Amino acid sequence: MKIIVDAMGGDNAPVSNVRGALAAVRELGVEVILVGRGEEILKVLKEDGIDDLPPGLEIVHASEVVEMCDNPATAFREKKDSSLTVGLNLLKGGDGAAFVSAGSTGALLSAATLMVKRVRGIRRAALAPVVPTGAGGAVLIDCGATAECTPEYLLQFAFMGSYYAERVLKRPEPKVGLLNIGAEPSKGTDLQREAHALLTDADKAGRIHFVGNVEAREAVFGQVDVIVSDGYSGNIFLKTMEGTGGFMAKQLKAMFTKNLFTKLAAVLVSGGLKQFKKMMDSGEVGGTALIGISKPVIKAHGSSNDYAIKNAIRQARDFAASGMIDDLVENIDHMRLPAAGQVEKI
């Protein structure tokens, strides 16, 4: 399988992107197309003692870079020879199975939507990170792509998240919950109440396993496999989890380095501390899937190191091999509300 990587996107580009791609070729059995300034990519390889391009690694030159200061809605058009634009054109043309970028989230979302296109019938693509929970992680969909949603958007997010959890995370009959301020169906705004009714109907039809509303604190404990949310609330939920994880890590470090006795205690629980740190590290997952686009796209974190890039490539490989986009295409009629005067297909 061939994965296309934006070599120039992210805070540590192109160094981490090149090294991560090289590690993916060696360890994951994939081929990688690095898109970006060829001379800079070759320089990184040369600094690592690699004079000849390794088998499985290919370079496609792109002279421009989409910067964080560029207008995300138009950057891919204004910079037609950017690594982002060239890479997505390769994906669109079938030169690779998936695309990975650690660059601007807004630019990637706009470019993927307008160039590669959404699956026909999908109203909005969604950013769907896997967040750490007590049950091994859950798909949070959406976490910021669409701040203001309709009930139909949330219905589609539920289907998309469920397919991703089942196909990519290997969760049989994934439990879907609607992020809300209480468990009762009457809780929340009109958006949550109307979405709850739609998700309940989808559950009764046997299309998803909807377990009802889920509060943020229950979601963290692993009550569900898929957390459905509008992008505004989902982004707050995600950022709160990230901040809490960072705060706890800082407090634990201060606690265990206070004196000789606490340092000895830290040695005794070092295994657990390492496991906690690994669980909270977004680099372990790799990146955030952009679901709803007609081909697999992964948004890696802007500060990704080479290990995180390698894992983002692994995630892209698994996404491409999962067949979940085919699920979306085959079930799209059950994910749309009937237009006025039409009868919904059963």
Q: Is the pLDDT of residue 267 over 80?
A: yes
Q: What is the mean pLDDT of the chain?
A: 93
Each residue's pLDDT tens digit, 187-204: 999 999 999 999 999 999
Tokens 């081929």 found at:
31
Q: Is the pLDDT of residue 258 over 90?
A: no
What's the start-to-end Cα distance of the chain, in Å?
A: 37
Residue 332's nearest CA partner among 118, 67, 81 is 118
Read off the DSSP letter of residue 272: H
Q: What pLDDT was estimated at residue 104? A: 94
* 255-269, 282-296, 308-322: range with lowest mean pLDDT: 255-269
Q: What pLDDT was estimated at residue 230? A: 97
Q: What pLDDT was estimated at residue 136? A: 87
Residue 345: pLDDT band (50, 70, 90) is very low
In angstroms, how far apart are the furthest CA atoms of the chain?
A: 75
Whole-number Å distance between alpha carbons of 38 and 291: 30
Q: What pLDDT was estimated at residue 341? A: 40
Residue 264: pLDDT band (50, 70, 90) is confident
Peptide bond into 296 cis (omega under 30): no
What share of the chain has pLDDT > 70, as a percent?
A: 96
Backbone angles phi, psi at 245, to 5 degrees: -60, -45
Quickly list DSSP for 142-176: -SSS-SS--HHHHHHHHHHHHHHHHHTS--SS-EE
Backbone angles phi, psi at 304, to 5 degrees: -55, 135
Residue 331's nearest CA partner among 211, 177, 155, 179 is 155
What the chain holds in terms of domains, given with CATH numbers, is 1-119+292-323 (3.40.718.10), 123-284 (3.40.718.10)
Which has the higher per-residue pLDDT, 241 or 340? 241
pTM for the model stands at: 0.91
CB 154 within 8 A of CB 196: no
Q: Is the pLDDT of residue 139 over 50?
A: yes
Q: Which residues pair with 295 in a beta bridge?
A: none
Q: What pLDDT was estimated at residue 339? A: 62
Q: Is the pLDDT of residue 312 over 60?
A: yes
Each residue's pLDDT tens digit, 198-234: 999 999 999 999 999 999 999 999 999 999 999 999 9
Whole-number Å distance between alpha carbons of 22 and 15: 11
* 22-36, 82-96, 152-166, 245-259: range with lowest mean pLDDT: 245-259
Each residue's pLDDT tens digit, 42-71: 999 999 999 999 999 999 999 999 998 899
Both tokens of 106, joined, read 């807004």
